Amino acid sequence: MLDLATTDNVKSATTDPHRPKDFLDLTEIKSFLEAAKAGRQGTRDHLLFLMMYRHGLRCSEAVDLRIEDVSFDRATLWVRRLKGSNSGMHPIEGDELRAIRRYLATRDDSLPWLFVSERQGRLSRFAVNYLVDRTAKLAGFDNLHPHCLRHSCGYALADKGVDLRTIQEWLGHRSIEMTVRYTRISQRRFSGLWRSG
């Protein structure tokens, strides 16, 4: 029995409104990221969610990111995993690197954290939960939680045909069993099975 897409976490208005799931597909992610730009801190929020999605970050890993974790010269991000997961170096795409520079240009503090609150402190997990919820409503989703962005990363990679071991390393999973869930509902793995050779 599939236990992956059965949690009643996200109801999508843009695809099937009856489909309970715990991740967003590519179209939904685009809507969500676009909606993130609308707030007072739109530059920060868009970047935060983009990085949580692209790097499969847990909420606590995202708020713990420091500016020094970003290497602008090498276009890399040091991802410090929690919960016993494996940390590692991730490449940063050009659009993401530009978004980081754009966001940092709006700041005039000397705080070490990458994401800061309007009160000049590290962004809290509570704040991220609130921002995700607010952005989800703007994008037309119900009951979205920050971990959905991590799951969305795993499903997107599986759907691109990325092999299981690479997804495991990217997400920092110690056990491959944690990663298998993402390939189980990927339709791509079945495409071409009956194509005549």
Does 151 qualify as catalytic in the annotation?
Answer: no
Nearest to 44 by CA among 117, 146, 153, 94: 117
- Which of 58, 103, 151, 155 is flagged as catalytic? 58
- Which of 54, 55, 150, 151 is flagged as catalytic? 150
- Which of 53, 103, 155, 182 is flagged as catalytic? 182
Does 81 qualify as catalytic in the annotation?
Answer: no
Q: Which residue has the tokens 């609130």?
A: 130
Instruction: Give the three-state DSSP class for 166.
Output: helix
Residue 10 is given by DSSP the state: B
- Which of 83, 125, 155, 189 is flagged as catalytic? 83
Does 83 qualify as catalytic in the annotation?
Answer: yes
- Which of 11, 81, 107, 147 is flagged as catalytic? 147
Does 58 qualify as catalytic in the annotation?
Answer: yes
- Which of 21, 54, 151, 173 is flagged as catalytic? 173
Beta bridge partners of 176: none
Residue 86 CB contacts under 8 Å (≥ 6 apart), including other chains: 169, 172, 173, 174
Residue 188 is given by DSSP the state: G
Does 37 qualify as catalytic in the annotation?
Answer: no
Does 103 qualify as catalytic in the annotation?
Answer: no
Contacts made by residues 125-131, CB under 8 angstroms, sequence distance 24+ = 125/59, 125/60, 125/63, 128/48, 128/59, 128/62, 128/63, 129/59, 131/36, 131/39, 131/45, 131/48
Residues with catalytic roles: 58, 83, 147, 150, 173, 182
